[in-house]
Structure 1
Amino acid sequence: MEGMTRKQLDKAETKDFALGGKPMRPRDAATLILLDRVGSETRVLMGRRHQRHAFMPGKFVFPGGRTDPADSRIAVAAGLHPAEEAKLIGSGNRASAVRARAIALSAIRETYEEAGLLLGRKGDFSTTRKDWQGFAEHGVCPSLDILRYIARAITPPGRVRRYDTRFLAAWRDDVAVALPEGGPTDELEEIVWLPLIDAMDADIPAITRTILQELGNRLAADPNLEPGGDVPFYRMLRGHFHKDIL
């Protein structure tokens, strides 16, 4: 996708997004790429979005959604690794430690809501927030030190929804509780674990394929996803889809 013009990108993404949206400011969003290493193969968790959605209908995606600033006030077992926090703080126009914390926690919350997977550590946890009650009920305190910042992408103009999405990764071993009935929302269906190479051939948005390619390259060079790795940042800039490294 790097280097595409606005016209080329619109054509490539006509099946991913409803086009024709009015000018709007992108909203903060976070998504979690949950990885599972089986022998020499790395698998990734994905789910299919319902056809009724205007944003990526019917596509396989990672769990994720819009960031709720109130998530920053949720108690955690451990904060972001300093190298990861610095990357998140330094990659936004209004970035701060509080904002970075909210983004990271929203990725964990969305993974619970959409896939029924609670990431963190077993232990006492309480909150008055309705959307975090599952963690309290199952005795899981969310933890941010398990997260790695993988990529950032801003939805181009002209879509009915625009997001400034941070792609974070964690390992399946970081799941403290997996609910057999899935999450409390119906955002995703057909939740599956796909080998990385098969995921890139699935019915996924173009930007998701690009992020998976970036992830594959990073895993090849850094199998354990050490903190502070390079973060590719995709956005429309001066009429072309541009890639920076954070």
Structure 2
Amino acid sequence: MTKQRGLAGMSRAELDHAERKDFALGSGPLRPRDAATLILLDTSGQEVRVLMGRRHMKHAFMPGKFVFPGGRTDPADSRIPIAAGLHPAEESKLIGKRTSPTRARAIALSAVRETYEEAGILLGRKAEFATSKPDWQGFVENQVFPALDNLRFVARAITPPGRVRRFDTRFIAAFRHDIAVELPEGGPTNELEELVWLPIRDAKEADIPAITRSVLADLETRLANDPQLSPGGDVPFYYMRHNRFQRVIL
């Protein structure tokens, strides 16, 4: 397990060693692909719990690890109708030199879609909803109109070079009480072998990727100071630069 001194400041060799069981090392795409993952928070008990699932061992990316639901961003997601858009303070954090407002919307919606596909959880409003997009038919069938206004951007991490898969991942949080529908049979894909709600302190000790542990520690600190995750909060950003893993605040 990586000691929680944090990944920031590690050299590329140190990071490769720390993440040797998280990623398949080797030549991969030079440019990371946009991705999003959703951290669902259950605040109904004495301890905040997060939803995690175990990835199949056959995956080249984080095999056998507990992760949050998520995956690659589909540009077509930006054309899905929504009941409410991102809070302006959240949208401004997601927008960047290579991220337009349309792309930011697609990133957020991809987190919502992937959470349905992998966990059977639909975020939005219970209302009549229609689209011809195949990946969103679960929302049509359950009459859930996707909504983004309660999502919070809490972290960003770019997979370092030298991995078979590289992603520019935005970690987005939402609260369990904002779920419109939670399907008892789970989602339609088999990406995750099991789904569990874990207290954050237990999740940090589970078999999770090193970057996930760092993100959870950051989120735990933020929740202690701001339990409601007010819009526009600090967003830690992890990336490799000059052979050192950096952590800056967006």
Range class of TM-score, shorter chain? over 0.9
The alignment partner of 1:113 has SS state of helix
1:97 corresponds in structure 2 to: 101
Equivalent of 1:111 in 93, 111, 115:
115
Q: Compute the displacement of 1:118 (Å).
A: 0.4
User: TM-score of the superposition, structure 1-length normalised?
Assistant: 0.98
Whole-Å Cα distance in 2 between the matches of residues 239 and 23 of structure 1?
18
Q: Compute the displacement of 1:22 (Å).
A: 3.5
2:50 corresponds in structure 1 to: 44
Equivalent of 2:18 in 12, 17, 22:
12
2:93 corresponds in structure 1 to: 87
Amino acid at match of 1:46: M
Whole-Å Cα distance in 2 between the matches of residues 23 and 10 of structure 1?
17
Whole-Å Cα distance in 2 between the matches of residues 230 and 195 of structure 1?
22
Q: Compute the displacement of 1:40 (Å).
A: 2.6
Q: Compute the displacement of 1:23 (Å).
A: 4.9
The alignment partner of 1:215 has SS state of helix
Amino acid at match of 1:55: F
Whole-Å Cα distance in 2 between the matches of residues 146 and 114 of structure 1?
20
- Which of structure 1's runs of 4+ aligned residues deviate more than 2 A? none
Amino acid at match of 1:94: R
The alignment partner of 2:48 has SS state of strand
1:206 corresponds in structure 2 to: 210
Among all aligned residue pairs of Structure 1 and Structure 2, give the percentage whose two residues are the same amino acid: 72
Output the aligned Cα RMSD. Answer: 0.7
1:243 corresponds in structure 2 to: 247
Q: Report whether the alignment pairs 1:138 with 2:142.
A: yes
Whole-Å Cα distance in 1 between the matches of residues 42 and 28 of structure 2?
39
Amino acid at match of 2:159: T
The alignment partner of 1:72 has SS state of helix
Amino acid at match of 1:229: G
Q: Report whether the alignment pairs 1:163 with 2:174.
A: no
Q: Compute the displacement of 1:24 (Å).
A: 1.6
Q: Report whether the alignment pairs 1:29 with 2:38.
A: no
Q: Compute the displacement of 1:20 (Å).
A: 1.1
1:149 corresponds in structure 2 to: 153
Unaligned runs of 5+ in 1: none
2:227 corresponds in structure 1 to: 223
- Which stretch shows the higher mean deviation, 17-26 or 224-233? 17-26
2:4 corresponds in structure 1 to: none
Amino acid at match of 1:204: I
Q: Compute the displacement of 1:38 (Å).
A: 2.7
Whole-Å Cα distance in 1 between the matches of residues 46 and 152 of structure 2?
21
- 8 Å CA contact 2:157–2:237 kept in 1: the answer is yes
Q: Compute the displacement of 1:174 (Å).
A: 1.0
The alignment partner of 1:19 has SS state of coil
Whole-Å Cα distance in 1 between the matches of residues 102 and 90 of structure 2?
13
Whole-Å Cα distance in 2 between the matches of residues 8 and 81 of structure 1?
38
Whole-Å Cα distance in 1 between the matches of residues 143 and 105 of structure 2?
21
Whole-Å Cα distance in 2 between the matches of residues 22 and 126 of structure 1?
38
Aligned length: 244
The within-5 A match list for 1:192-203 is: 192-203=196-207
Whole-Å Cα distance in 2 between the matches of residues 136 and 71 of structure 1?
15
Q: Compute the displacement of 1:181 (Å).
A: 0.9
1:234 corresponds in structure 2 to: 238
